[in-house]
């Protein structure tokens, strides 16, 4: 199952969150070479890992094997504060119904099927389930260009916000992606996921939002 962790229920997942940030270091700093975010404590954190951050975690036997981060676009976030120039054509979207999606990963031992693996799909489906429950209607973000065919295969609609740019060794671009129940159903079908995967242990609706039935 996929668990949602926010500031409201993080006290229930202290060990899992510590593991999550260590795994992020292994993947983004060690494996992908993001030296700019390296820290001596072996945790991969940035200024957006704060009270506003929402973590979508795949947890098995208290070990985090996959994850993603959501940040409200109305608050400081990666696209708006660090990469606004990537949205030079359409501008940075800021709307209560749009959240930024960053730091998606699956550990090496769970990457069956490569970029289209079922474990990664489970994390994405859990994130979509959470967003739809909360009335979030779109996701923004700075994505690697190689994600584009993956989104196409899943049946998503992707709106570029500007031109691609080479950052480090990878071409990236800013996007906004509308999401709805059909997006979730297409993503489930693509990954052969037949039922809901999300659980909300100790978590009420986000402040100012009500769960959508």
Other Cβ atoms closer than 10 A to 77: 28
Q: What is the pLDDT of residues 76-134, one digit of tens each?
A: 999 999 999 999 999 999 999 999 999 999 998 887 765 568 899 999 999 999 999 99
Which tens digits make up the pLDDT trace of 148-179? 999 999 999 999 999 999 987 789 999 999 99
pLDDT for res 14: 95
User: Residue 115 has what DSSP assignment?
Assistant: G
pLDDT in tens, 49-73: 999 999 999 999 889 999 999 999 9
> Is residue 197's pLDDT more than 60?
yes
Q: Which domains does the chain have, with CATH numbers?
A: 2-199 (3.40.630.30)
pLDDT confidence of residue 43: 80
Note the pLDDT of residue 177. Answer: 98
Cα(175)–Cα(98) distance, integer angstroms = 12
Q: Phi, psi (5° rounding) for residue 45? A: -135, 155
What whole-number distance in Å separates Cα of residue 125 and Cα of residue 82?
27
């Amino acid at each position: 199952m996929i668990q949602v962790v926010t500031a409201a229920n993080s006290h229930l997942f202290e060990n899992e969150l510590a593991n999550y940030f260590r795994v992020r270091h292994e993947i983004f700093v060690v494996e992908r070479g993001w030296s700019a975010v390296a820290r001596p404590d072996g945790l991969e954190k940035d200024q957006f890992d704060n009270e506003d951050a929402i973590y979508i975690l795949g947890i098995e036997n208290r070990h985090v094997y996959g994850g993603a981060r959501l940040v409200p676009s109305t608050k400081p976030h990666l696209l708006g504060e660090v990469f606004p120039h990537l949205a030079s054509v359409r501008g940075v979207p800021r709307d209560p119904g749009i959240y930024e999606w960053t730091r998606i990963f699956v550990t090496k031992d769970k990457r069956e099927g490569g970029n289209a693996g079922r474990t990664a799909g489970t994390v994405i489906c859990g994130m979509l389930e959470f967003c739809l429950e909360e009335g979030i209607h779109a996701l923004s973000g700075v994505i690697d260009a190689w994600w584009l065919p993956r989104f196409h295969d899943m049946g998503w609609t992707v709106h570029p916000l500007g031109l691609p740019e080479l950052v480090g060794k990878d071409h990236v671009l800013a996007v906004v992606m509308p999401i709805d129940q059909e997006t979730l159903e297409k993503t489930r079908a693509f990954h052969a996921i037949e039922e809901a995967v999300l659980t909300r242990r100790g978590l009420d609706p986000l402040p100012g939002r009500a769960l959508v039935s």
